[in-house]
Amino acid sequence: MTTTRRRRTATLRVGFCMLVALTALGAMAVTIHASAVRATHATRPPMTPPPPASISDVDSALSRGDVSGAVAAWHSAYVSALSSRRWERLIEAGDAWLRIERVSGAPAMGAAKARELYLSALFRARQDGSAEGVRRAAAAFDALGDHEVAANAARMAKALEAHQLADNSVPVF
């Protein structure tokens, strides 16, 4: 009985020692990795992002027949449009994407990305209370052939206009 207890105790001690050793090795590995990362980042010069491209850069590349240059310029303009939080720029980015896709010969692929941008523009315009923005998004959906969304957006624009008229007619005391 005592030998069995001693074996268990010895096994537990060995197991505990192995656990402590593995934990120490793990901590050392993390420390070494963190030091290596710090050293690597300390020696690299800071990256400066390229200046954002505009939609005119996309059109300029398309006029030269440079589809890959247009896509690169569009991507920069797309990121800029997303960060601007302005519905106008999102609609412009969607329109530019459709132009790129038409020139590249794959317009069916462009419709999905343009629809995504138009939908973002629609919601941002609605959030901003811009009936004009909602109407422009509706026109963009209509041009894509998505008449149901266009009709819903047109109803949204009318509701926004009615709400704005009601707000303007209430006298302020």
Per domain, the residue ranges of the chain are 1-48, 55-168
pLDDT tens sequence across 73-101: 999 999 999 888 899 999 999 999 999 99
Binned at pLDDT 50, 70 and 90, residue 104 comes out as: confident
Give the DSSP H/E element, type plus range, for residue 129. none
The predicted structure's pLDDT at residue 138: 96
For residues 104 and 67, the answer to whether their CB atoms sit within 8 Å is: yes
Closest CA to 49 of 70, 75, 85: 75
pLDDT band at residue 15 under the 50/70/90 scheme: low
Q: Note whether 100 and 53 are within 8 A (CB).
A: no
Mean pLDDT of 136-158: 94
Fold annotation for 55-168: 1.25.40
- Counting residues of the chain whose pLDDT is more than 90, the rounded percentage is 49
Model pLDDT for residues 19-59, shown as the tens digit of each residue: 666 676 666 656 666 666 565 555 555 454 455 568 889 99
Instruction: Note whether 149 and 116 are within 8 A (CB).
Output: no
User: What pLDDT score does 164 carry?
Assistant: 79
3-state secondary structure at position 51: coil
| pTM attached to this predicted model | 0.65
